[in-house]
Structures are given as C-alpha cells and as structure tokens.
Amino acid sequence: MQKIVTGIDIGSYQVKVVIAQQAEDKRLPPRILGTGYAESRGLKQGYITSVPDISRSIAAAVAQASKASRVKVKRAYIGVGGVGLDEAFARGEAVVERGDSWISDRDIPRAIAASERALAPSAILNRKIIHTIPLRFTVDGVRVMGASPVRMKGMRISVETLFITCLERHVQDLVAAVEEAGIEVEDVVASPLAASFVAVSKMQKRVGCVLANIGAETLSVIVFEDIIPLSIKIFPVGGSDITHDLALGLRISPEDAEQLKHGAVLGAPFSKKKIDDIVARRLSDMFKLVEAHLKKIGKDELLPAGIILTGGTSSIQTISDLAKAVLRLPSRIAPLSEDTTDTQMQLRDGSWAVAYGLTIWGLTQGGDLEHHENSGLSDIFKNLWRWFKKFLP
C-alpha cells in the first residue's frame, strides 16, 4: 500500500488540510485524497493567541479532510510561518578525519555543526532552528563546484550554512495546538519552503527566482538559485490590508470590500478606476518591500525566472502586472493545476500551496534539501516512542 501523508497549513485566515497518497510512479506528485478547511481562530499574523481556539479550528479542518478521504489522521506535517520566521547565516570549518585526506560523509556533519556553533548568540536567542541548509562548500579555500565535496581530497573543509529559525515559543504553541486536536506532529516545516515544492519548478529554482506567498496577514518571500534557497523573509502585510484600504477608501463594510478585492460587482456605483488605484497602491507597497530585500541580498533584477506569486491574494487580477512593473522581473501566478493532474481532487487556488507542499515534504523528506544528522538513528527512536506511547494511560 502506498504511503499516505497529511499536511496542515495553519494560516491567519484559514486552517487548510491536505491528505495525499504517494503515487505508484514516485516521479509523479502525490495523489490528493481529501482536503478540508476551517476559519482560523486564536491566531494573529502567524502568532498563536489562544491554543484551545486554534486547536478547535485544526480539528474541524482535519475532520472535513478525513471525511472526504475516508482516512483517519493520526500524524501530520505542519507548516510554520508568521513574522517570527527568520534566517541566520554562519560559516564553519572542520579538519578532514582520514589520514589519506579523502573527504568522507563523516566530515560534512562536523563542518555543519561548526557553523551552528559559530552563529551569533542573538540569532538563536529564544529561537529554534527548524532547517539547516548547506549553501556552499570550500576545500582548502577553493570553492566546490557541486552539492558536496565527498570523495574529494583536502585538509580542511568549510561550509556556509543557512539556518531557518522560528520563535521557540511559537513552535511549542503550534505543536501543542495540533496535539490537543489529537494529532501527532511528524515534522515542522517553514511554510515558504513547503509552498516552493508545489509552486516553483526545478528549472526556475536552478536559474534563479523569488517565490512570494501573499496570505491574509503576511507576505513571505523565499529566493532560490542553483536549486538552493538563498534567503527567506516574512513581512507583516497581506491581503487583509487591501481589504481594510478598500473599506476605508470607499466607506463600505469589510465584507463588501473583500468581495470587491477579488473582482465582484456590487450594487453600489463604485468607480472601477478608484478600486484599482486603491488595490494597486497597497500591492505596489508590498512589492517594494520585496524589491528592498532583493537589493539587500544583491539579487534585484538578477533572477531570470522572476517572481512567482501564490497564496490567497495572488488571485487578484492585476497582481502579476504590478509585480512585473515594480520589480522589473518576469512575473507569473503559480500554476498549481499543472502539478496536480494525477489527483482525485483539484486544488482550488494558490492558498493551498503550503498544505499540499507539506505532503510532498513528508514523502520526500525535503528532497535532501537540508542536513539531517544521524537521521536513521533518530527514526528508530521515533518509531520506538510511537510504539511505547500505545501503552501509556
């Protein structure tokens, strides 16, 4: 029987759940068995303000997905986003163990561990490292062209590492909320990274691109080059800001403003130009934040695959043109339907990218993107713990 995995995206607007089964041909994407969603309660800009409230939202979304798929959910992969997500970089070095100077698999973890020890204390104060991603290696001061220096010769090996971190309290609250809903957490994954498994092709990651996931209250950005994520950034703005601007500018209710934002035609005679101007002004401000971040890391106007847009707000009609004008890069909406042709159920829009991406992460373990030290041993202990918990009261 093919493996079945569950992804839970706990967003500020909605909790989304995708249950998927591994395809017989592992080169194909997972087959979606069921989806579920519920309104998020007890969450603000990705921060949990009430564990019981968000736990009930999670339970409702999981129940809906379970009913659709006829699968009982016991374990799940969860996405962590919000403004508490951040990046840190460090460089570490290790002496090659073998006397004949051949670099082995044992040398890589030691160099990465050295880079973690080299992190500034402020970068990990009250924070938890959720991903450790080696960016580039050097051997005796010469950069390695390729993913790994294993089976090369040298005396010293060094690595530049990207650490994706999150506020430790937030991760603990997130896990507690999921477990309170009766579900065991398999792994915690950065939401922008999970979305990239669905929204961005390998070719786009190879030549260079930026994925912008515009949610209700946050805008997350992840930059790729040579298939590796170079940078991740979260901004505290999102689709709800556009809704508020429309409500204030047109003096209408937030409910009517939300409909106007997505192109609905209401009874009142609102000028289309005025609506478009309000939406364009806020979106331009968002893309200027993205532009400033790209300038900071030296990648502005230097990403051939441009910007790929996903998230609930990416459904706004003019968003792609605005992104292209502000960033001076190619712009497109992530075509989720192309990636889910072998499914029983189709994803409705870009807001499902994270939840579906989590199922891909669960089946591929991140596609060897990050570093797992002693993963085989940890899997054994994890399975033993699951067996032992069956006998606990």
Domain ranges of the chain: 4-83+168-199+340-389, 86-166, 202-333
Kindly report the pTM of this predicted structure: 0.87
CATH topology of domain 4-83+168-199+340-389: Nucleotidyltransferase; domain 5 (3.30.420)
pLDDT at 39: 92
Residue 302 CB-density burial (10 A; 0-12 exposed, 13-18 middle, 19+ buried): exposed
The answer to whether 56 and 67 have CB atoms below 8 angstroms apart is no
**To the nearest 10°, the Cα dihedral for 240, 242, 243, 248?**
130
Sheet strands side by side (includes 31-39): 31-39, 14-21, 4-10, 75-80, 184-190
Question: DSSP 3-state assignment of 364?
Answer: helix
Can you give the pLDDT at residue 1? 61
Query: How far is residue 354's CA from residue 80's CA, in Å, rounded to a whole number?
Result: 10
Question: 252-263, pLDDT tens digit by residue?
Answer: 899 888 888 877
Class of domain 86-166: alpha beta
Check for a shared fold between 4-83+168-199+340-389 and 86-166: no
Mean of the per-residue pLDDT values of the chain: 87
Answer whether 59's CB lies under 8 Å from 27's CB: no
pLDDT at 66: 95
Q: Name the CATH topology of 202-333.
A: Nucleotidyltransferase; domain 5 (3.30.420)
For residue 336, the model assigns a pLDDT of 66
Strands (E), the chain: 4-10, 14-21, 31-39, 43-44, 47-48, 75-80, 86-95, 127-139, 142-143, 156-167, 184-190, 209-214, 219-225, 228-235, 307-310, 331-333
Residue ranges, the chain, pLDDT below 50: 337-345, 374-385, 387-393
* Residue-level pLDDT at 278: 93
Q: Could you tell me if 309 and 334 are in contact, meaning their C-beta atoms sit under 8 angstroms apart?
A: yes
* Confidence at residue 347, expressed as pLDDT on a 0 to 100 scale: 63
CA-to-CA distance for 157 and 154, rounded, in angstroms?
A: 7
Residue 135: the pLDDT is 93
Note the pLDDT of residue 365: 78
Using DSSP, state whether 247 is helix, strand or coil. helix
